[in-house]
A and B are shown apart, each in its own frame.
Chain A
C-alpha cells in the first residue's frame, strides 16, 4: 500500500530538526533509516503529518571512545557497527549482535537510534544495551538528557522519549579487566526477527565476575534486564553451577507469549539454554583475553 500524504523536511542541523519537530510534535515523526517507520506508513499503522529526516545532519554517526564511554551516534548503521574494528576488539556483544540483525539491505540503512526509539521488544539492540548498561542521550527544546537504557525502554513500542526530543547518541561504558560477550539469537530463518535473543556481557577479575550484564529479546513487552540473574553472578567465581543458576533466574524473568514463532514454555527454555551458553562463551573469551595480556 501507499502511505498517506505527509510533509517532508530534511534539515542539516539538529537545532533546525528540533524546531520543526517542536511545531507539531504530536503529528511529526523523525525519520532515520526508515526500516521500521516506512513499513508502518505503508501499512497505514502510522500517518504522521510531517517527517523530519535526520540523515543529513552531520556528526550523528560518531563512533569513538571518549570519557570512559563508547559514543555511538544515533545514525550509526547496523552494518557500520558490524564492520567497525574498535567495536570488534572491545565490544564483542555489539559485534556479535550487529550482523545478526535482519538482512544486508536493512543493515545498510537501519540505525541504532531508530531501533531503540522504535521500542520493539523483538529488536536486538535493546537487549545488547541492557547487558552493557548503556545510556541514551536525547536532545529536546530544553536541552540534553541522559537516560539509562533500562528507564528508556518502557513497554511495547513505548519509550520514555518525549515527542519533541531526538535521540543523538548511545553511550556504552568501556569494559574493564578481562571481558567477553556474545549475542545469541534464535531465528526461524536468516533475516528473521528473534524468536528469542540473549545478550551477555562479562567482566572478570581473575576468575571472579566483576560485572555481569544480560538482556533478553522477544520474551516480554519490552527487552528485559534479568537483574536477579545479574546479581547472582556478580562477585562470584565462574562455575557451571553458577551459570546454570543464573540461567534459571533469567528464564524466570522472561515473560514470553505463545505465537507463530513457538510456545511460551519453549521460548523460556531457550532463554535458559542461551544464558548458559552465552555465559560460557563470554567467560572463555575473557579468559583468552586475560591470557593475552
Chain B
C-alpha cells in the first residue's frame, strides 16, 4: 500500500444518481438476445400443461385421468389429490384452490396438470382428461352477488371487503348537486411475455424455480406451503420478465410446475399460450361507481358521496387492498370536508381480479374527474379552475383524516398542463391519413371531424399501506479486482422492465464512488425486496441499497482509519480513493482492500402506516402520494365514432428523477396504458366467459395510436425518501384515462360514462348487453 500525498480533484462518478445511465438489460433486449422466462431450457426437461374448466361455474362430479395417462410421452397427470401441502393459496386471503376439486368458480380454473416429453403430447393428454361437470348458472352481476338471497360462492359469503369513509356531516346540503354513475371495464395488464418458468428438482428434495414474477419471497412462502416443503428447500431465481403491471403478483404456474417437477424427478417447463394467459392471471377490477357531489355556488366542494362496487371475480387476490385504495382515493386530490364512501369488493363467477398498475385509484379517478367536469359545467366554471380551487396541498387532510405531509403540487401540476402550448388546429395539406381518426383505412378525409380538449388529475399512494410491514433488503459487496474497486449489488427486487436494476446500480455508484457495479441475479438467497408494485421499488430497494452502501462505506473508512491512523470521520471517499480530510493523504480503495472484501446487508423500512378504521375509514394508511395531471387533445369522427388522440401533455412530480430517461419511459408507458383503458382495452366478459382472449381481439395501443407527448417532470423531493424520490410508474396511468374521455365529451357533447369508450358509444348506438 502506497499512500500518496498529491491531491487530485476527483470527478463525480459516471452513471450515478440523476443520470440516464444505460440499463443493464437494454442492449440485449433491443438486440433480441435477452433471455425471457419462456426461453428457459434444461437437459431432459418435460413440458407441463394445465387442464382448465370450460365452464365459469360448475360442480365437479368426477375426474378420470386414465385416458390421459395412455398418451405417449406422458409422464404425469396430477389432480388436487396430488397437491403435497396446502390445497389453497392466496396473497391476502387463502381462498384459491391449487387445483379445483369440488366447485369451479371461473372459466379457465385449473383442474389438472400434465407433464410430457413434448408440449404437443402434453396438450393431447390434457384433451383426454375426462371431467364430469355439472354446470351451474354463473353469478356474474356484482350487485346481485351482495343481495341476501344470492348463491354463496365461498363459505365466507360473497363480500370480500366493505370499506367505508365517514367524515364530517352526513346530512350536509349544498347549493349545487350533481350525480353520476360511471363504469370501468375489466382491463388486462397485457404483458407480452406469457407466464412461464422452469422448475428443477434438487438433490436435497427441494426445488429450484426460475420464473418471471414480481415478488419472489411471497411466491416462496406460498410455494413452500402448498408443496409441503420447509421454506429453505424452495429457492427461486427471477427469470427474464416480459412485463408485469400487477399480473404477476399472484401465483400462476409456479406451484403447478414445481408439483410436476417433484413428482417426475425431472426439470419441467411451463409456458402459457397467449390465449391461456388471459385465463392465467388476474385482471383490473371492473367497477360501477355512483357519485354525488355537492358544492357552493362559488365552486367549493361541500361533500362527496360515493358507492363503488368492484367485481373481484372468483377469488380474492388483492381485492381487499384494491378496495381500500378505491376508498381512500375516492374523492381525488381535493379538499372535501364531508365525505361518505362505501366501497365493496365482491366475489362473482367472473375472471378473478387483482393488482394492476394504479390499483383501485384508476377506477375512482375516472369517476371523480368525470364528476368534476360535470360540476364545472353545472356551475358554468372552467373545469381546471374548479379543480385548482379545491386542490389539496401539503397540510391538507385526506377524507381518511391523514394529513398530507410531503409535496402535493396539485394546483401547480394543473397550471402547468393548462399553460402548455396547444398543437395547431386542423391538418396540413396533403392530408396524412395516419393523423386522422380511422387512420390509413381511408375512413375520413376530414368529414365529420371535431376536436376536443380534456383535463384530469389523479393521485395514489406509494408503497404498501394500512400497516403492512413494508421493507426491502439489499446486500452490497465492495472488493478490488485488477487494481480497480468493484461493487456487487444483490437484492430480490424484480426487474419487470421498469428499470429497478439500473436504479440499484446508480445508487451504488453514487454512494461508493465506484463506477464498476454489477447487479447479481435476483433470487431468494437474499432477503425479501417486497413486490415490484405500488410504485415502491425505487424508494424501497433504492433505499436498501443506499443504506447497505452507507454501511460498507462506514466499514471502509474504519479500515482506513485503522491503517492510516486517525478516526473514520477524518476520511472521505472520492473517485475510488480514500482521502484524509486532515492531512490530505489518499489511498486507493483497491490498495486498502487488497484481497479482502466488505459486504453489508441492510433492510430498509418506510414510516409505519395504520389500518383504516372499518367503520369510519379514518387512519394514517399511507406513507406518501404521487400526483400527475394530463391534458388530452382528440379529434373525433362524430359520424363513425372513431378517435385519434392528437396529443397528450402531462406534468408529474417524481420527487427526484434517479434516471430521467426511465422516468420518461414510465410516464409514456403509463399514459399509453391509460389511453388504452379510455379507448380500447377491455376484456369482454359475457355470462362469465371471456369473448376476446387474444391480441387480435383484446386491443392495446400501438405506435399508431399513441400521440406525441409533452412531459413536464417536477422534482420536488419528498423529505422522507432516499434522495427525495417518489414512485413514478402508476400515476400516469391514473389521470390519462379521464383526460382522454373528457376530451371526447368536449368534442361530442355526449355523457360517456363508461371506459373504454367504444365507437358505438361516441355515436350513441351502444347496445346494452343482455345477460
Contacts and interface: CB of A to CB of B under 8 A. Distances in A.
Interface of A: 1-2, 96, 99-100, 182-190, 192, 258, 260, 262-266, 269-270, 273-274, 277, 281
Interface of B: 120, 123, 438-445, 447-448, 639-642, 680, 684, 691-692, 696-697, 699, 702, 704-705, 758-760, 763, 765-767
B242 to A, nearest CB: 21
Contacts of B447: 277
A183 B442 contact: yes
B428 to A, nearest CB: 20
Given A263-B767, A266-B765, A186 B760 contact: no
B431 to A, nearest CB: 12
24 contacts: A2-B120, A99-B440, A100-B440, A100-B442, A183-B442, A185-B443, A186-B640, A187-B441, A190-B439, A190-B441, A260-B692, A262-B760, A263-B760, A263-B765, A263-B767, A266-B760, A266-B763, A266-B765, A269-B763, A269-B765, A270-B640, A273-B640, A277-B443, A277-B445
A263 B443 contact: no
Contacts of B120: 1-2
Contacts of A274: 443
A202 to B, nearest CB: 16
A262 B767 CA distance: 9
B224 to A, nearest CB: 36
Nearest to B701: A189
A270 to B, nearest CB: 6
Interface of A is mostly: mixed
A142 to B, nearest CB: 41
B442 A262 contact: no
B760 A277 contact: no
Identify the interface centre among B120, B641, B684, B702: most chain A CB within 10 Å of its CB: B641
B445 A281 contact: yes
Given A258-B767, A260-B691, A186 B684 contact: no
A182 B444 CA distance: 12
Given A2-B120, A182-B442, A189 B639 contact: no
Nearest to A192: B696
B438 A273 contact: no
A210 to B, nearest CB: 24
A5 to B, nearest CB: 13
A30 to B, nearest CB: 26
B767 A189 contact: no
A160 B443 CA distance: 32
A265 B765 contact: yes
A260 B767 contact: no
B443 A184 contact: yes
A282 to B, nearest CB: 12
B696 to A, nearest CB: 7
Given A186-B438, A258-B767, 12 more contacts: A184-B441, A184-B442, A185-B441, A185-B442, A188-B680, A190-B441, A264-B767, A265-B760, A266-B760, A266-B765, A266-B767, A277-B445
Given A100-B440, A260-B684, A189 B704 contact: yes
A265 B768 CA distance: 12
Contacts of B692: 260
A187 B608 CA distance: 51
Nearest to B704: A190
Contacts of B442: 96, 100, 182-185
Nearest to A188: B699
Identify the interface centre among B439, B640, B758: most chain A CB within 10 Å of its CB: B640
A258 B767 CA distance: 9
Given A100-B441, A183-B442, A281-B445, A266 B759 contact: yes
Given A263-B765, A263-B767, A266-B765, A189 B699 contact: yes
A190 B440 contact: yes
Nearest to B444: A277
B640 A260 contact: no
Closest A-B pairs by Cβ, 4 of them: A263-B767, A266-B760, A185-B441, A266-B765
A91 B640 CA distance: 26
Contacts of A185: 441-443
A217 to B, nearest CB: 12
Contacts of A266: 641, 759-760, 763, 765, 767
Contacts of B758: 262
Given A258-B767, A266-B765, A190 B702 contact: yes
Contacts of A183: 442
Identify the interface centre among A183, A260, A264: most chain B CB within 10 Å of its CB: A260
A186 B439 contact: no
A260 B691 CA distance: 7
B640 to A, nearest CB: 6
